Chain A
């Protein structure tokens, strides 16, 4: 799991173009949206693209992403349970 968490952090930094951030700057359990890191709805769409491309997970409705994208840990848990690649 720790390996997947680090991999996700790197991929998210790259996909969202979080310049000047390193995996250490993102707390695994902190909220990614709103009061936490401060991501928004476009970032959520970028994460949906990332899920599909890199892990073969297709989310048909952006609303599904809400619970999944709560934190890096929740993403990692979802990915490890649902990945098809």
Chain B
């Protein structure tokens, strides 16, 4: 029995189209979707964006959804999942008749923020829009998508900022290989929000013109939005169903740059490791790759760092490289799957997508392609890098990997918990001084301190200096900073906001902070499935340990609340939650 994972369906909505065929047409005609803001209610009309050309109400109508607090992220997710299922020839009836275990793995960070930010100023004084609170979290977004279709046995959410959707494909493939399910719908969804548009603006990395990835005169990124999902299954099951396989997901790698929360290292260490690992799993040499869909945001930092990583991997066999963010804008948490679908379209329809906006080669950078027609692509790499240096590479191929993908029958099942530390009160956080200098802790809110402190203590108990992987759960991440940013937006308007608040609003800031502290370049994933976040983190850690790829994993679950949030929970009748709660666990597998 082989362990080949194939893709049998895709769905996509983004700025250049509302389905596969529209996206294909825009790519082939070299028509960008980046333009003047139409749907987002922001004062920054000077900033070009890549919007999905549908209003929330148009999406609700087409899906038959009446909840006025349903958010744009989730609605786009539903549209794309619907297409993917239909493309793969899967429906509720087939799933029921065959008792298929189908899992939804979705990546998002924004989730319900676009709705929350509209009503934030009313929430304290009035109950009128209180209903939006329960739709806010990332986990809830995935839950709503799953419940809409009513055919998923399980669902979970990954929030590793801009690599979220790519990591969703990794989890999906690993679950299939371990026979935990029969089919996975994996991808991500992310709408624009005033919150993160202003957040990126405060980091001064938004281009005021159409973005120019890999160009000497590049001046930042344009934000975009959208959703894309692929249907993953084992090759033999697809063959049994008699459906066409579009490509193999032949290799993948996730690594942490462990350098900085918002900047990539000069030599692109994390990106280099992710690509190397993905190629290795695929059993391919760098010279086998014909095309790389780069992360290529258009920021001065990303494009030089990624160029350096690409040169390290491919040296004198550099394949064609382009960033399709020049078409879609940077669709953040959804970019991994949107660009994966673009790669699959390119392979299927024999063309290479252009890198729009490029005119002048950058010093020491790679030179991107302006597009090719009638071009056969057998093996492509798709890069997605997130804040915190969360770097993921996927390898899609038209050929299987018959040599190295034979299923291993000897799974290591001897997983042991060797340390567990819990922090349940703010008083305990003073102990962080024993580990971290005041200057190093200058930007750490209470969740950053409690997660780091509990992790360092657990590693000490376990006698582990550096774990091979860090897997974290959190329902809401750095809630306090997100609330402070929303408050600043409400009180001061769309001025230059405090960058410190924004850089900590991505959920994987917690996990990255630990990785940076430990210099840990290994697999680094964050689950945001509400109360099930820890359960999923542990499950992934066990999958990883059992695969024999790693020997020690630091697993954690961290959440904080604010007085405002505790008041909201009380008013919507949810259970009370403490100001801070951290659990850090060290798992090993050994003889």
Which residues from chain A sit less than 8 Å from chain B, CB to CB?
16-21, 37-38, 40-42, 45-46, 48-49, 52, 61-62
- Taking a contact as CB atoms under 8 Å apart, the answer to whether B499 and A45 are in contact is yes
A15 and B187 alpha carbons, distance in the complex (Å): 39
A38 and B499 alpha carbons, distance in the complex (Å): 18
Shortest distance from the beta carbon of B161 to any chain A beta carbon, whole Å: 15
- Taking a contact as CB atoms under 8 Å apart, the answer to whether B442 and A17 are in contact is yes
Residues of A within 8 A of B405 (CB): none
A17 and B442 alpha carbons, distance in the complex (Å): 5
Residues of A within 8 A of B202 (CB): 45, 49
A33 and B345 alpha carbons, distance in the complex (Å): 46
Residues of B within 8 A of A37 (CB): 439
B178 close to chain A: CB less than 8 A: no
Residues of A within 8 A of B260 (CB): 40-41
Contact with A along B415-457 (1 / 0, CB 8 A): 0000000000000000000000011011100000000000000
- Taking a contact as CB atoms closer than 8 A, the residue among A19, A20, A38, A49 that contacts B498 in the complex is A49
- Taking a contact as CB atoms under 8 Å apart, the answer to whether B204 and A46 are in contact is no
Residues of A within 8 A of B443 (CB): 17, 42
Residues of A within 8 A of B439 (CB): 18, 21, 37-38
- Taking a contact as CB atoms under 8 Å apart, the answer to whether B204 and A42 are in contact is no
- Taking a contact as CB atoms closer than 8 A, the residue among A17, A42, A62 that contacts B261 in the complex is A42
B263 close to chain A: CB less than 8 A: yes
Residues of A within 8 A of B28 (CB): none
A48 and B442 alpha carbons, distance in the complex (Å): 18
Residues of A within 8 A of B261 (CB): 42
- Taking a contact as CB atoms under 8 Å apart, the answer to whether A46 and B438 are in contact is no
**Chain A at the B interface: SS class:** loop
- Taking a contact as CB atoms under 8 Å apart, the answer to whether A45 and B203 are in contact is yes
Shortest distance from the beta carbon of A84 to any chain B beta carbon, whole Å: 16
Residues of B within 8 A of A41 (CB): 260, 262-263
A-B pairs with beta carbons under 8 Å apart, 15 shown: A18-B438, A19-B442, A20-B438, A21-B438, A21-B439, A38-B439, A41-B262, A41-B263, A42-B261, A42-B500, A45-B203, A46-B499, A46-B500, A48-B204, A49-B496
B503 close to chain A: CB less than 8 A: yes
- Taking a contact as CB atoms closer than 8 A, the residue among A19, A40, A49, A61 that contacts B438 in the complex is A19
Contact with A along B489-501 (1 / 0, CB 8 A): 0000000111110
Question: Apart from A49-B202, A49-B499, what are 11 other A-B pairs with CB-CB below 8 Å?
Answer: A16-B442, A17-B443, A19-B442, A21-B438, A41-B260, A42-B261, A45-B499, A48-B496, A49-B496, A49-B497, A49-B498
Residues of B within 8 A of A16 (CB): 442
A18 and B500 alpha carbons, distance in the complex (Å): 13
Which residues from chain B sit less than 8 Å from chain A, CB to CB?
202-204, 260-263, 438-439, 441-443, 496-500, 503
- Taking a contact as CB atoms under 8 Å apart, the answer to whether A42 and B438 are in contact is no
Shortest distance from the beta carbon of A31 to any chain B beta carbon, whole Å: 14
A38 and B442 alpha carbons, distance in the complex (Å): 11
Task: Please judge, given known A-B contacts A19-B438, A21-B438, whether A46 and B498 are in contact too, CB under 8 Å.
Answer: yes
Shortest distance from the beta carbon of A68 to any chain B beta carbon, whole Å: 14
Q: Which residue of B lies closest to A19 (CB)?
A: B438
Task: Please judge, given known A-B contacts A19-B438, A37-B439, whether A42 and B498 are in contact too, CB under 8 Å.
Answer: no
- Taking a contact as CB atoms under 8 Å apart, the answer to whether B503 and A42 are in contact is yes
A21 and B438 alpha carbons, distance in the complex (Å): 9
Residues of B within 8 A of A62 (CB): 204
Residues of A within 8 A of B438 (CB): 18-21
Q: Which residue of A lies closest to B499 (CB)?
A: A45
Shortest distance from the beta carbon of A3 to any chain B beta carbon, whole Å: 25
Residues of B within 8 A of A42 (CB): 261-262, 443, 499-500, 503
- Interface pairs A-B: 7 shortest CB-CB: A45-B499, A20-B438, A19-B438, A17-B442, A62-B204, A49-B496, A42-B499
Q: Which residue of B lies closest to A60 (CB)?
A: B204
Q: Which residue of A lies closest to B504 (CB)?
A: A42
- Taking a contact as CB atoms under 8 Å apart, the answer to whether B496 and A19 are in contact is no
Point out which of A17, A18, A20, A45 has the most chain B C-beta atoms below 10 A from its C-beta: A45
Shortest distance from the beta carbon of A47 to any chain B beta carbon, whole Å: 10
- Taking a contact as CB atoms under 8 Å apart, the answer to whether B204 and A45 are in contact is yes
Q: Which residue of B lies closest to A20 (CB)?
A: B438
Shortest distance from the beta carbon of A73 to any chain B beta carbon, whole Å: 20
- Taking a contact as CB atoms closer than 8 A, the residue among A19, A38, A40, A49 that contacts B441 in the complex is A19
Q: Which residue of A lies closest to B498 (CB)?
A: A49
A19 and B430 alpha carbons, distance in the complex (Å): 13
Shortest distance from the beta carbon of A55 to any chain B beta carbon, whole Å: 14
Shortest distance from the beta carbon of B259 to any chain A beta carbon, whole Å: 11
- Taking a contact as CB atoms under 8 Å apart, the answer to whether B496 and A18 are in contact is no
Shortest distance from the beta carbon of A17 to any chain B beta carbon, whole Å: 5
A47 and B203 alpha carbons, distance in the complex (Å): 12
A68 and B331 alpha carbons, distance in the complex (Å): 34
- Taking a contact as CB atoms under 8 Å apart, the answer to whether B442 and A18 are in contact is yes
Q: Which residue of A lies closest to B205 (CB)?
A: A62
A49 and B204 alpha carbons, distance in the complex (Å): 11
A46 and B496 alpha carbons, distance in the complex (Å): 10
Residues of B within 8 A of A20 (CB): 438
A49 and B503 alpha carbons, distance in the complex (Å): 15
A49 and B499 alpha carbons, distance in the complex (Å): 9
Residues of B within 8 A of A45 (CB): 202-204, 499
Shortest distance from the beta carbon of B504 to any chain A beta carbon, whole Å: 10
Residues of B within 8 A of A52 (CB): 496
Residues of A within 8 A of B499 (CB): 42, 45-46, 49
A29 and B456 alpha carbons, distance in the complex (Å): 36
Shortest distance from the beta carbon of A18 to any chain B beta carbon, whole Å: 6
Q: Which residue of B lies closest to A61 (CB)?
A: B204
Q: Which residue of A lies closest to B445 (CB)?
A: A17
A19 and B433 alpha carbons, distance in the complex (Å): 11
Residues of B within 8 A of A46 (CB): 498-500
A42 and B502 alpha carbons, distance in the complex (Å): 10
Shortest distance from the beta carbon of A50 to any chain B beta carbon, whole Å: 10
Shortest distance from the beta carbon of B202 to any chain A beta carbon, whole Å: 7
A46 and B501 alpha carbons, distance in the complex (Å): 10
Q: Which residue of B lies closest to A41 (CB)?
A: B263
